[in-house]
Structure 1
Amino acid sequence: MALFVVHRYLGDEDNDLKDHSQVLLQRLKERVRARQQQRQQQDDHMPAESGPDNEMPDMDLEKEAKQKSKKRKQSEESPFTEGHRKRKKKLATEGGEGVEEKDDDLSPRRSKTSGKESKTPQGRTDGGEGSEIKLASQLEDDGSAGEREDGAEARANESHGEKEQMLKSPQEPKETPPPPNTIVLGDWVLKAAQKKKVEPLLPRWLAEPKLVQRRIKENVVPLQDVPVIHPKLRKKLQANGIESLFPVQAEVIPAILESGFLAGRGGYQPSDICVSAPTGSGKTLAFVIPVVQALLDRVVCRVRALAVLPTKELAQQVTKVFNIYTDGTGLKVVQLTGQKSFAKEQESLAEETLMGFRSLADIVVATPGRLVDHLQQSPQFSLKELRFLIIDEADRMIDNMHQDWLRQVVAAAHSAAEEGSGTPQLFRRAEQGPLTAARAGCPHVPLQKLLFSATLTRNPEKLQPLGLYRPRLFTPISSEEKAMETTKKYALPEGLSQYYVPCNLRWKPLFLLHFLLRLKFSRVLCFTNSRDTSHRLFLLLQAFGGVNVAEFSSRLNPRQRKLTLKEFEQGKIQLLISTDATARGIDIGGVKCVISYDAPQFIRTYIHRVGRTARAGKAGLAFTMVLKQQERKFLKMLREAGLPELEQQLVKNTSLQPLLTQYEKALADLQKIMKEERAEKRS
Structure 2
Amino acid sequence: QQENRSNLKNKSSKRKKGDEETEGSETRKKENSERAEGNQSTKEELFLAASEEEANPPASSLVVLGDYDRKPVQPFLPQWLAQPKLVQKRIKDNLIPIGDVPGIHPRLLKKLQTNGIESFFPVQAEVIPAILQSASNGYLMGQGGYRPRDICVSAPTGSGKTLSFVIPIVQVLLDRVVCQVRALVVLPTKELAQQVSKVFNIYTDGTGLKVVLITGQKSFAKEQEMLVQKKVTGYCSLADIIVATPGRLTDHISQTPGFSLMQLRFLIVDEADRMIDDMHQNCLNQIVKAAFQVENDSGSNMLFQRTKPGPITAASSCYPQIPLQKLLFSATLTQDPEKLQQLDLFQPRLFTSVYSEKKTLGDGRETEQDTNKKYTLPEGLSQCYVPCDLNSKPLLLLHFMLTMKFSRVLCFTNSREASHRLFLLVQAFGGVTVAEFSSRLPPNERRRTMKEFEQGKIQLLISTDATARGIDIKGVNYVINYDAPQFIRTYIHRVGRTARAGEVGVAFSLVLRIQERRFLRMLKDAGIQDIKKNPVKGNSLKPLVQRYEEALCKLEKTVKEGKQNAEIKRFVVTEF
Q: State if a TM-score over 0.5 links the two structures.
A: yes
**Equivalent residue for 2:320, pick from 443, 447, 464:** 443
**Is 1:310 aligned to 2:191, yes or no?**
no
Partner of residue 589, structure 1: 474
**Equivalent residue for 1:251, pick from 123, 126, 129:** 126
Partner of residue 219, structure 2: 341
- Relative contact order (C-alpha < 8 Å, sep 6+): which is higher? 2
Partner of residue 541, structure 1: 426
**Equivalent residue for 1:484, pick from 344, 359, 368:** 368
Partner of residue 563, structure 1: 448
1:481–1:308: structure 2 CA closer, same or farther, 3 Å change rule?
Answer: farther
Report the Cα offset of residue 645 of structure 1: 3.3
Query: What amino acid is the match of 1:288?
Result: V
Partner of residue 74, structure 2: 199
Distance of 1:5 and 1:488 partners within structure 2: 101
Partner of residue 210, structure 1: 85
Query: What amino acid is the match of 1:480?
Result: E
Q: Deviations over 1:653-674 (max 9, x none)?
A: 2211111110010011111111
Query: What amino acid is the match of 2:448?
Result: L
Alignment of 1:374-413 (within 5 A): 374-402=252-280, 404-413=282-291
Distance of 2:479 and 2:261 partners within structure 1: 40
1:247–1:134: structure 2 CA closer, same or farther, 3 Å change rule?
Answer: same
SS at match of 1:667: helix
1:153–1:597: structure 2 CA closer, same or farther, 3 Å change rule?
Answer: closer
1:315–1:305: structure 2 CA closer, same or farther, 3 Å change rule?
Answer: same
**Equivalent residue for 2:108, pick from 202, 213, 233:** 233
Q: Deviations over 1:37-81 (max 9, x none)?
A: xxxxxxxxxxxxxxxxxxxxxxxxxxxxxxxxxxxxxxxxxxxxx
> Higher Cα Rg: structure 1 or 2?
1
Query: What amino acid is the match of 2:87?
Result: V
Contact 1:428 1:443 in 2 (8 A): no
Q: Deviations over 1:291-332 (max 9, x none)?
A: 100100000000000000000000000000000000000000
**Is 1:623 aligned to 2:536, yes or no?**
no
Contact 1:319 1:335 in 2 (8 A): yes
SS at match of 1:386: coil
Partner of residue 333, structure 2: 456
Report the Cα offset of residue 402 of structure 1: 3.6
Distance of 1:635 and 1:309 partners within structure 2: 31
**Is 1:655 aligned to 2:540, yes or no?**
yes
1:548–1:10: structure 2 CA closer, same or farther, 3 Å change rule?
Answer: farther
Query: What amino acid is the match of 2:89?
Result: R
SS at match of 1:629: coil
**Equivalent residue for 1:500, pick from 371, 377, 385:** 385
Query: What amino acid is the match of 1:200?
Result: P
Distance of 1:262 and 1:350 partners within structure 2: 24
SS at match of 2:249: helix
1:11–1:233: structure 2 CA closer, same or farther, 3 Å change rule?
Answer: same
Contact 1:430 1:446 in 2 (8 A): no
Partner of residue 351, structure 2: 474
The structure where strand makes up a greater share of residues is 2
**Equivalent residue for 2:198, pick from 320, 329, 337:** 320
Distance of 2:65 and 2:196 partners within structure 1: 58
Contact 1:259 1:265 in 2 (8 A): no
Distance of 1:642 and 1:581 partners within structure 2: 26
**Is 1:283 aligned to 2:174, yes or no?**
no
1:682–1:152: structure 2 CA closer, same or farther, 3 Å change rule?
Answer: same
Report the Cα offset of residue 9 of structure 1: 12
Contact 1:369 1:403 in 2 (8 A): no
Distance of 2:270 and 2:13 partners within structure 1: 105
Distance of 1:137 and 1:662 partners within structure 2: 98
Contact 1:495 1:618 in 2 (8 A): yes
Q: Deviations over 1:574-600 (max 9, x none)?
A: 000000010000000000000000000
Equivalent pairs, count: 547
Partner of residue 644, structure 1: 529
Report the Cα offset of residue 148 of structure 1: 3.7
Distance of 1:135 and 1:555 partners within structure 2: 95
**Is 1:132 aligned to 2:30, yes or no?**
yes
1:425–1:501: structure 2 CA closer, same or farther, 3 Å change rule?
Answer: farther
Distance of 2:241 and 2:221 partners within structure 1: 19
Contact 2:296 2:302 in 1 (8 A): no
Contact 1:384 1:413 in 2 (8 A): yes
Contact 1:220 1:245 in 2 (8 A): yes
Partner of residue 270, structure 1: 148
Distance of 1:598 and 1:236 partners within structure 2: 42
Q: TM-score, length-normalised on structure 1?
A: 0.75
SS at match of 1:502: strand
Query: What amino acid is the match of 1:523?
Result: R
Q: Deviations over 1:434-468 (max 9, x none)?
A: 33211111120000000000000000111111110
1:559–1:185: structure 2 CA closer, same or farther, 3 Å change rule?
Answer: same
SS at match of 1:585: coil
Contact 1:318 1:365 in 2 (8 A): yes
Report the Cα offset of residue 380 of structure 1: 1.8
**Equivalent residue for 1:599, pick from 459, 462, 484:** 484
The structure where helix makes up a greater share of residues is 1
Distance of 1:425 and 1:290 partners within structure 2: 34
Contact 2:150 2:345 in 1 (8 A): yes
Q: TM-score, length-normalised on structure 2?
A: 0.88
Contact 2:292 2:307 in 1 (8 A): yes
SS at match of 1:507: helix
